[in-house]
């Protein structure tokens, strides 16, 4: 959703840059430079808001992933002395394989 909106903002910037700097209406000549600058500034502010939200979400997901990695690391680093401890290490490895696609994402 955020990526689509950021692309729309880029399209708006492109459309704004294509507007002529003066617009002639009969004897009246309108300068569009101020409007173009204001619109561009407004769009860039919204892009910044969306970008900050994307970064906030990514930071949260990365923090959660780091916590999961720490927990799995603790499970794997346990010394294997019995068949039960080997089973818990194998379960941890299986959990890693399941989460690997999320980690790659």
Give the domain range for residue 49: 2-104
- DSSP-H helix ranges across the chain: 2-17, 33-76, 83-104
To which residue do tokens 């696609």 refer?
Answer: 101
- pLDDT average, residue stretch 68-87: 80
Tell me the pLDDT band of 55, cut-offs 50, 70 and 90: very high
Total structural domains within the chain? 1
pTM: 0.62
**Residues 48-68, mean pLDDT to the nearest whole number:** 89
List b or e across 11-22, with b for residues whose CB sees 16 or more CB atoms inside 10 angstroms. ebbeebeeeeee
């Amino acid at each position: 959703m955020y990526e689509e909106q950021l692309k729309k903002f880029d399209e708006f910037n492109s459309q704004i840059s294509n507007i002529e700097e003066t617009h002639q209406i009969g004897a009246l000549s309108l300068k569009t430079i101020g409007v173009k600058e204001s619109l561009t500034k407004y769009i860039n502010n919204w892009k910044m808001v969306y970008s900050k939200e994307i970064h906030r979400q990514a930071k949260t997901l990365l923090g959660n992933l780091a916590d999961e990695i720490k927990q799995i690391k603790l499970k794997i680093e346990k010394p294997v002395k019995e068949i039960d401890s080997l089973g818990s290490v194998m379960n941890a490895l299986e959990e890693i394989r399941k989460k690997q696609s999320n980690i790659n994402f």
